[in-house]
Structure 1
Amino acid sequence: MKRRVLLQLALNAPLLGIGTSGLAGLLVPASATAAPANGPQRKPEPPTAAPSRRLLVIDPGHGGRDPGAIGVRGTLEKEITLDIAREIARRLRGVPGVAAKLTRDTDIFLPLAERVAIARDAGADLFISIHADSAPNRDARGLSAYTLSDKASDDFAFALAKQENLADGSGGIDLRHTRPQVAAILSDLVARHTVTASLMAKSSLVEGAGRSLRLLDNPKRSANFAVLKAPDVPSVLIETGFLSNPRDEDLLRDVAQRRRIADVLSRELADVMTSAPFA
């Protein structure tokens, strides 16, 4: 992503003895500043740009020693999320201009901070965490989406975030060993972009999915989810349903219904990835 390259150059420029003008020079092709040689010159051919692909990192919630929610019939959230996430990734890999990567492709445990680190290290344009939790209210059912907020949009979202953040005892990302200027620049330069893109993705996903799938009442919510705390990667947590609700559990246990959910989400994610301003 271009903003990451520029950020790294800006951080390293003082250490390399490069001033502002020198930094600008690094961004200009040498041919643009070179003195003309004697004799006729061939007109340089324009460079052929490689096709740009936006990267979606899909995070199947829970895994390994952390089963996540367990339904009345014994359905494990970690298995539901992995199956849906795999299918979304498979479908998106056939979409031009989109690349898909999973944080886990097997039944392994990943700390919340590591899931975020995978997305950041890969240079993700969007991070989606897939879940099927237990709801505070057993009557609650349907798909919903959540973005990061210090203050939860409601008690329901607050309870979900509190439950999710206990998955590995982490309340957030450990930045103790991050250089202060790096954290400050990230927060200042990209936080606005990250928040805006996250909200746009959440809105688009919910509105699009709502044409085909049942939605939770008030399906666009926010709370302080630790897994959404990448400062430079737009992030959304999707609840595909709630295993605490018998009807949702029956639906999520059905392979055909999981394929339907994956089909709808992959369709909407493809639209988001090819139209939203993530580049």
Structure 2
Amino acid sequence: MKIRMGPGERLFEIGIYASLVLLVIVTLYPLLHVLFASVSEASQLIKHRGILLQPLGFNLNAYLSVLKNPFIQSGYMNTAFIVVAGVLFNMAMTILGAFVLSRKKVLWNKFFIFTIIFTMFFQGGLIPLYLIVKGVGLIDSLWAVIVPFAISTFNLIVLRTSFAALPDALEESAKMDGAGHFLILTRIVLPLSMPVLAVITLYYAVEKWNSWFYASIFLKDNELFPLQLILRQILIANATDEMSAGGAVGDHYQIGETIKYATIMVATIPILCVYPFLQRYFVKGVMVGALKG
């Protein structure tokens, strides 16, 4: 049976859809602007002012220049290693920590949880962190941006809450059948927590993909720089000399502008391609792990 809506309800529904359309436009336009600018003619892009609603001409020279840069290629390789190794390491440590903290009979459980949460508000600072990383010999190594950041406190709390929300009867029945903690974790807890695990994995992957600050501190060799640090050099330091060498000064400046936009697209597209496959887990995974404390 179809329910008729009154004028006020219909107006409210129209307002909701209008707000959603406006939100989509505001969210999507910056990406479209970068995409249009990256394939535009450099000379026309320099002269353009205001909103960019379509490419100004069509030219892929910026993408060709970006892909020819050896630092872009090494940056992709370094970032791929950081993402894969880092996410595996993060997930292993976070799962083990969340499983232990979710058990109700663990000695000093509340003390450990309080200590972990305390680190979200008070940290030792950058200098002690640098001294520790230098003391263990990780300076100028890709592991310097992986090992010190093994666990995110927020992700640990979300995953621990999700594990604790599972019915106790499942664990008790498994123990009656002779299952140990490792078997309970791998056969019961993890399969039932796949939505939360998918969300946490994406959180870690995006964090690793976008990280550049600690890499700029711990890494000195340009061949070890991740992609985002190379991107920062191009965008902020205007480091386009190698990619646009050989032209006049004006041409150098023009192609440098399009290279900046092309570099942003090259660095952004991979993570955008991964997101849709995990997006459906977001509402289910995050809400299950966050609502119950």
For Structure 1 versus Structure 2, the TM-score category normalised by the shorter chain is under 0.3
Which is helix-richer, 1 or 2? 2
Normalised by the length of structure 2, the TM-score is: 0.19
Which is strand-richer, 1 or 2? 1
